[in-house]
Amino acid sequence: MLSGDMFAVGGITYKVVKKMGSGSQGSVWQVKSTADNKLYALKLISDGNPKRRRNKIENIERLISAKMNDRLLPNRANHGVYHMFPIVKYGNSASGEEGYIMECASGKTLETLWKEGVIVSMKTFDRLLLAQKVAKAIDILHSEGYCYTDISWGNFMWDERTRSIYVIDCENAAGSVLIDNGACAFLYGTGFFIAPEVAFGQAHVGYNSDRYALAAFIFGLLTCRVLMSPYHGVAMYAAQPLCQNMLEVAEYVKEGDLNGDWQHFVFDPACRVNGIDKLCVNSRNPANVAFRKNLDEATALWNSLNDSLKRLFYNAFCEPFNVSLRPGASQWVRTIGEVLAGGAVSAGSGARAKGKVSAPAPTGRVAEAGKVTAGKASPVAYPGYKPRGDAAVAQNAAVAYPTYKPRENAVNNTGAPVTYAEYKPAAHAERRKARLKGENTVIELGDETVVPGDALGIGDAEACRIYRRDGGYVLTCETESGLEIISADATSKNKLSKGQSRALLSGDAITAGNGKSVVFEI
C-alpha cells in the first residue's frame, strides 16, 4: 500500500493519505473517504501465525456485525471515552491484505507520553483522572459483555487538550462466547500486565485477567512506573533481576530458579520478604543509587495514596492467584471518583523528570555492598493502613488484617513464622446471592437461570437467560422483541437484540419497554 492509492470498501471509496505507524499487530494508514470527506484509519493485520490471524479476522467480523462502534458512541460525550472499534472490514484478494476501517484517534499513546516525560511530570490529580478514564473504558466493555484482553501502555491514547482517552487495537476485544471457550483472539496479554493464572497456564484470558491488568496499569501509573511489576521487590531482583514478563516468572518458577517469595506484593503490609525497603540501599553503583532514589519517590507516592485505593491494590496483588479478590473496573472508577471528589489529592507534580531508571544495574545481584536478604529489618510504617506493630511482634502473635487473608508462609520482621487471627473474607470475595426483583416477582439466580416472559409482561416463554460468569452475571436476550437494561442511576441504557449479551451490575433494571421491569440485585 502506498500514499495516493485508492480502494473501495462497503461501497465507499477511500484514498490513502499516509502511513501513521506500525507495530507487532499490524500497520495503520490514514485514509480519506470520498463520501463524507472525513479522515479515517485503516489497520492492516499482520500475524505470522495463520490460525491466530484467522481468529483475529473472524473476531473483527463479529465486532462489526455487533455494531460495537455504534453501540458505544454515547460514552464519548458522557465520559470522554472513545473505543476505536472496526466499522467495516477491508480485504485485498490480490495482495492478501486484510484489516478494517475505524475512526481516527487523537493524542499520543501512553507509551509515548512515558518516553516524553509527560506522565511523570503530571500532577497526582491528573494521573488519577487518567487512571479513572482507563478504568471507565474497561468498565464499559465489561458491562457490554466484552473483555479487552490486552491492557497495556501502547493500547491507550490520551488527548491532553480534551482529556479524552482512546482505546485502540479493539479488534482484540472478546465477547462472552470466546471467553467461555478460552478462544480469545489475543492469547496472553503484554509483559507484566499478563495475569499470573494465565502465565502459569491455570486459566484463559477473560474478565479476571483484565481486572489484574487494569490493577497493574493503575499501580504503574500512580507510582510513576518505577517498578516493572507489583512483584518486583527484593526477592524478585535478588533471584531474577532481568525478568521481563510474567511468562518468564512462570518459567523461572518451573525451573526452580525463583521461589514463592515473589508472590508477595512489594507493599504487602503482612510480609516484607519482597519489599523494596532495603533494595539497593548500600550500593555505590551510580545506576543503583539513581534507582534507589526512584524507589524512595515511588514509596512516597504510595504512602500518599488514599486508604481506599490501597485496599484495592491489596486485594488485587496480595494473593496473586486469588481472582475472586480482584477489584472490578467499576470499583476503580467509583473509588478514584470518591478520592477526586474528596479533595484529598496532592497538588504536587510527578515523582521524576524525563529519564527515569526502572531497574538496578544488571550486575546479577541487587547491591554491591552486601546482598540484600529478607532478614531482620527495621520497623516500617504504612500511613493509612493499620500496621502489625514494630519488629518486636511476638512469635505466633495473633494479628488481624482487613480485606484479605495473608498466606500461611508469611513471616514477621524477625523472620519468625506468624499465626494469623481468624479471618473473615471480604464481602466481595464470597459467592453472593443474586436475584431479580419486580412487582410481585422475585427470581433467585443460580449458575444458569431462565427468566420467563411473564416476568417482564411479554408473551414469550423466555425473556432472557442469566448466567453466572467469573463471580458476576451475564444476561443473554432470548426474545425477538428485544430488551433494555437501564443502570441504577439511569445514565446508561443498553438495548439488546435476541442473542446479544451484557454483564449485569447491581441495580440494573431489565425491561421489555412496556413499563414492566425487574431489578438485578446482588
Is the torsion defined by CA of 114, 118, 119, 120 positive or negative?
A: positive
- Rounded to 5 degrees, what angle do the CA atoms 61, 63, 67 make? 115
pLDDT tens figures, 73-107: 988 888 999 999 999 999 988 888 899 999 999 99
Residue 291, Cβ neighbours under 10 Å: how many? 23
Report the percent of the chain where pLDDT is more than 70.
80
Residue 399: is its pLDDT beyond 50?
A: no
If residue 68 lies in a helix (H) or strand (E), which one and from where to where? Answer: helix 68-71
In single-letter form, the type of residue at position 41 comes to A
Name 114's Cβ contacts closer than 8 Å, sequence gap at least 6: 120, 153, 225
Helix spans in 472-518 (H): none
Is the torsion defined by CA of 176, 177, 181, 186 positive or negative?
A: negative
Round to whole Å and give the CA distance between 357 and 164: 29
Round to whole Å and give the CA distance between 294 and 305: 17
Round to whole Å and give the CA distance between 483 and 368: 65
Residues of CATH 2.60.200.20 domain(s) within the chain? 431-521
Q: Which three cell numbers stand for residue 197?
A: 493464572
Provide DSSP, 94-116. TTTEEEEEEEPP-SEEHHHHHHT
pLDDT band at 504; cut points 50, 70, 90? confident
Round to whole Å and give the CA distance between 274 and 360: 15
Compute the average pLDDT of residues 435-464: 91
**Class of CATH domain 108-427:** mainly alpha
pLDDT tens figures, 43-52: 998 877 787 7
Q: What is the CATH number of domain 431-521?
A: 2.60.200.20
Round to whole Å and give the CA distance between 471 and 323: 9
In single-letter form, the type of residue at position 231 comes to Y
Could you tell me which of 134, 45, 28, 26 has the C-alpha nearest to residue 81? 134
* DSSP single-letter state for residue 193: G
Q: Which three cell numbers stand for residue 219?
A: 499501580
Q: Is 454 left (phi over 0), alpha (psi -120 to 50) or beta?
A: alpha
Round to whole Å and give the CA distance between 340 and 306: 10
Round to whole Å and give the CA distance between 414 and 272: 10
Contact 306, 438 (CB under 8 A): no
Residues of CATH 1.10.510.10 domain(s) within the chain? 108-427
- What CATH fold (topology level) applies to the domain 6-103? Phosphorylase Kinase; domain 1 (3.30.200)
Name 191's Cβ contacts closer than 8 Å, sequence gap at least 6: 152, 228, 244, 245, 246
In total, the chain counts a number of residues equal to 522
- Beta bridge mates, 9: 12
Round to whole Å and give the CA distance between 449 and 470: 16
Could you tell me which of 433, 519, 413 has the C-alpha nearest to residue 475? 519
Residue 414: is its pLDDT beyond 50?
A: no
Name 428's Cβ contacts closer than 8 Å, sequence gap at least 6: 315, 324, 325
Round to whole Å and give the CA distance between 122 and 285: 29
Q: Is 360 left (phi over 0), alpha (psi -120 to 50) or beta?
A: beta
List the end-to-end C-alpha distance of the chain, in Å, as a whole number: 52
Contact 142, 503 (CB under 8 A): yes
Round to whole Å and give the CA distance between 430 and 241: 37
**Burial bucket for residue 186 (CB in 10 Å: 0-12, 13-18, 19+):** buried
Contact 412, 393 (CB under 8 A): yes
pLDDT band at 177; cut points 50, 70, 90? low
pLDDT tens figures, 124-160: 999 999 999 999 999 999 999 999 999 999 999 999 9
pLDDT attached to residue 124: 92
Residues of CATH 3.30.200.20 domain(s) within the chain? 6-103
- The residue with greater pLDDT, 385 or 122, is 122
Q: Which three cell numbers stand for residue 304?
A: 500518599
Distances (CA, A) of 236 to 189, 215, 454: 21, 19, 58
pLDDT attached to residue 345: 62
pTM across the whole model: 0.68
Name 24's Cβ contacts closer than 8 Å, sequence gap at least 6: none
- The residue with greater pLDDT, 453 or 401, is 453
The residue with cell 494508514 is 29
Contact 488, 437 (CB under 8 A): no
The residue with cell 532495603 is 278
Least confident piece of the model among 18-22, 69-73, 379-383: 379-383
Compute the average pLDDT of residues 391-405: 33
3-class SS of residue 166: strand
Distances (CA, A) of 63 to 84, 102, 120, 175, 447: 11, 12, 35, 9, 27
pLDDT tens figures, 326-377: 999 999 999 999 999 986 565 444 544 444 445 665 443 333 222 222 333 3
Name 210's Cβ contacts closer than 8 Å, sequence gap at least 6: 138, 142, 147, 148, 149, 151, 329
Round to whole Å and give the CA distance between 206 and 165: 22
Contact 336, 131 (CB under 8 A): yes
